[in-house]
Amino acid sequence: MQFIRDYINAIYHLMLEMSPYLLLGFLIAGILKYSIHPERIKRYLGGSDLRSVFYASLLGVPMPLCSCGVIPTGVGLYRNGASKGAAQSFLISTPQTGVDSIMVTYSLLGLPFAIIRPIAAFITGIAGGMLTNKVEGEKPQEYINGTDAEELPRGWKKIPAMLKYAFVDFLSDIAKWLLIGILIAGLISLLLPEDFFLQYLSNPYLSMLVMLAVSVPLYVCATGSVPIAAALLMKGLSPGAALVFLMAGPATNAATISVIGNTLGKKSLIVYLGTIILGSFIAGTVLNEWMPASWFTGISIHGAHGHMLPHWLMFGSALILSALMLFTLLRKILNKYRGIPEAGCDVTDQRQKDEYIVHIEGMSCQHCVMNVKKGLSSLDGVIEVVVNLESKSARIRGRIDTAQIEATIKQLGYTVKGIE
């Protein structure tokens, strides 16, 4: 019973520290989503030069996309005329960080980590993009299907759209992984001895290699990785090894590797993995060897810099975030149990029309849903598209060749597992 009480207490303090910054990060994510027009983004990423790579990495750092959500966005940029280098730069820098994860990094790991993490993502993004341009030396043909510019709401209509994206759509994408990260962090804080890494992995270079081996195939979102890193630091993990985990964990996983290899090619995939692995190792080494150790002391499950915010604000934020996460997770479970498709994709009268059920591999979040829906809706003969994230399928109503369906989904970076 004492273990359960200690475990609940650890999770409670984690939620207190993280919640205010998470809610603020979600709000900024919603503002970013509806403040930058997609066409303006594409205009700056078309060249195979330093300028396009620089802009792509700069754009990617604050974008609140995890490695699953960044894939359709990055592939979409590439299919719309962005160079492989610019797309690669975006794919490398974006999942490593974001406004929400920067806020949480500050709350749990302190200001130095909150500054160093986006800088490392920005530099590795530029390095990977430039190297890709040098290796590939080409610019893709413009992709036609599914490229219609998304109409952004205007005036006061932006406010409900921003709030819905921030606290419903975006939270829906990371709620599960954020919860897993918090639960794992609580277990680490209780189960591992205080001197675990000092006793078994005292060599900082060995600990960085171990973190790389664990992080590359693992999926963990940028925000969910922070409480885990904080718990590991408490047990003696070096700051450099923690940074390796924060960089490589969110940026790589089996699905990401598969899609990049299929879309950008094997050369670009090698550059992608090499940049993240080498970049995170170099960044970790710089952190251990050149940064003052005092910057990274005092990190605990109760936050890196104490209770700087009023307790009522922290408690209220934790209550609100817990309610939002609970609502999101329960809705997902109920929708899956009832077989209800994603919101906003109602099926209307289907009589006298052809209908196809397409099973799609690779969809992981709401960004994937929007990307697939937009791409398929642009095809001639399509009347309606219903995309269901839970069942990984799309219901298409209209008269259309199945070869077009398969080709479009493949161009978007996903795999068709079957068409009924």
Side-chain half-sphere CA neighbours of 346 within 13 A: 3
Task: Say what the pLDDT of residue 125 is.
Answer: 93
Percent of all residues in the chain with a pLDDT value above 70, rounded to a whole number: 79
- Token pair for 94: 């974006």
Of these ranges, 85-94, 299-308, 346-355, the one predicted with the greatest mean pLDDT is: 85-94
Q: Using the predicted structure, report yes or no on whether residue 227 has a pLDDT greater than 70.
A: yes
Going by the DSSP 8-state scheme, the letter that residue 156 receives in this structure is G
Q: Using the predicted structure, report yes or no on whether residue 344 has a pLDDT greater than 60.
A: no
- Picking from 282, 268, 223, the residue whose alpha carbon sits closest to that of residue 413 is 268
Q: Using the predicted structure, report yes or no on whether residue 139 has a pLDDT greater than 60.
A: no
Task: Say what the pLDDT of residue 347 is.
Answer: 33
Which one has a higher pLDDT value, 121 or 383?
Answer: 121
pTM over 0.95: no
Task: Say what the pLDDT of residue 281 is.
Answer: 94
pLDDT, mean of residues 189-196: 72
What is the side-by-side strand order in the sheet with 393-398? Answer: 382-388, 393-398, 355-361, 415-419
Q: Using the predicted structure, report yes or no on whether residue 116 has a pLDDT greater than 90.
A: yes
Which one has a higher pLDDT value, 16 or 301?
Answer: 16
- Picking from 57, 49, 60, 148, the residue whose alpha carbon sits closest to that of residue 98 is 60
Task: Say what the pLDDT of residue 255 is.
Answer: 63
pLDDT, mean of residues 301-326: 77
- Give domain limits for the chain: 2-324, 355-419
* Distance (Å) of CA 159 to CA 63, 138, 153: 19, 41, 9
* Distance (Å) of CA 212 to CA 279, 281, 293: 11, 8, 22
Q: Using the predicted structure, report yes or no on whether residue 122 has a pLDDT greater than 60.
A: yes
Residue type (1 letter), 388: N
Kindly report, residue by residue over 26-60, the tens digit of the pLDDT.
Answer: 787 777 677 766 566 666 776 667 888 998 899 88
Task: Say what the pLDDT of residue 46 is.
Answer: 63
Cβ-contact 115, 305 below 8 angstroms: no
Percent of all residues in the chain with a pLDDT value above 90, rounded to a whole number: 13
Burial of 132 (0-12, 13-18, 19+ CB in 10 A): buried
- Picking from 320, 330, 302, the residue whose alpha carbon sits closest to that of residue 23 is 320
Q: Using the predicted structure, report yes or no on whether residue 159 has a pLDDT greater than 90.
A: no
Q: What is the mean pLDDT of the chain?
A: 78
Cβ-contact 78, 102 below 8 angstroms: no
Of these ranges, 206-210, 359-363, 384-388, the one predicted with the greatest mean pLDDT is: 206-210
Task: Say what the pLDDT of residue 72 is.
Answer: 61
Going by the DSSP 8-state scheme, the letter that residue 195 receives in this structure is T
pLDDT, mean of residues 182-196: 76
Q: Using the predicted structure, report yes or no on whether residue 191 has a pLDDT greater than 60.
A: yes
H/E stretch holding 134 reads helix 111-136
Kindly report, residue by residue over 65-89, the tens digit of the pLDDT.
Answer: 665 566 666 766 676 667 788 888 9
- Provide the CATH number for the domain formed by 355-419 in this structure: 3.30.70.100
Task: Say what the pLDDT of residue 75 is.
Answer: 66
Cβ-contact 243, 282 below 8 angstroms: no
- Token pair for 201: 């992995």
Least confident stretch, 103-107, 137-141, 344-348: 344-348
Kindly report, residue by residue over 264-278, the tens digit of the pLDDT.
Answer: 778 888 999 999 999
Least confident stretch, 113-117, 195-199, 226-230: 195-199
